[in-house]
Amino acid sequence: MKAIKKWLNIGTTIILYALLLCMIVIVLSAKAAGGEPKVFGYQIKTVLSGSMEPGIKTGSVITVKPGGDMTRFKENDIITFHDQAEDVLITHRVIDVINNDGVVMYKTKGDNNDAADRNPVLSDHVVAEYTGITIPYVGYFMNFAQSKNGSIFLLILPGVLLLGYAIYQIWTAIKQIDAKEKIVS
């Protein structure tokens, strides 16, 4: 029983330290990248609308691959582009490629939208290509983590958990010492 308790204590300590380290890395990488975390050259984007449901659910995180020739896309590719009018990034499917005297534009549409987007997207406004990787509901957490309050909370929470666990360990050790002293007395 003592061996199991010892391994549980070691495991809990390792998990809490790993949690603290992960939170620090997530928060700092998001801040260093200007709010856009990157993993192995892929950007992680949070989906905040339902325009691409059911394939990409609201609150999901998706990975996109930035760079390359932005005139390479064809019908059914999913691209992330900068909407100049609303100053937001949008991820939609290409439904038509328009080549007008060497200027490539894409007609796009959200899978869940009834109509195509109003304006074609210039290839210069395309930011990245969707890689097909989606993790549902994690976007809500990432959005919170990138906020000021979220960053503070996620850095403080593991520290508080470690402190609480240390206090519990000290209290347990004192209780064991007291029990041994009563037996000796």
* Alpha-carbon span 51 to 111, nearest angstrom: 6
List Cβ neighbours of 148 (8 Å cut-off, separation of 6 or more).
none
The radius of gyration computed from the CA coordinates of the chain, to the nearest angstrom, equals 25
Active site residue 185: no
Task: Kindly state the tokens that stand for 37.
Answer: 């975390």
* Alpha-carbon span 11 to 6, nearest angstrom: 9
Catalytic residue among 49, 60, 151, 185: 49
Catalytic residue annotation: 49
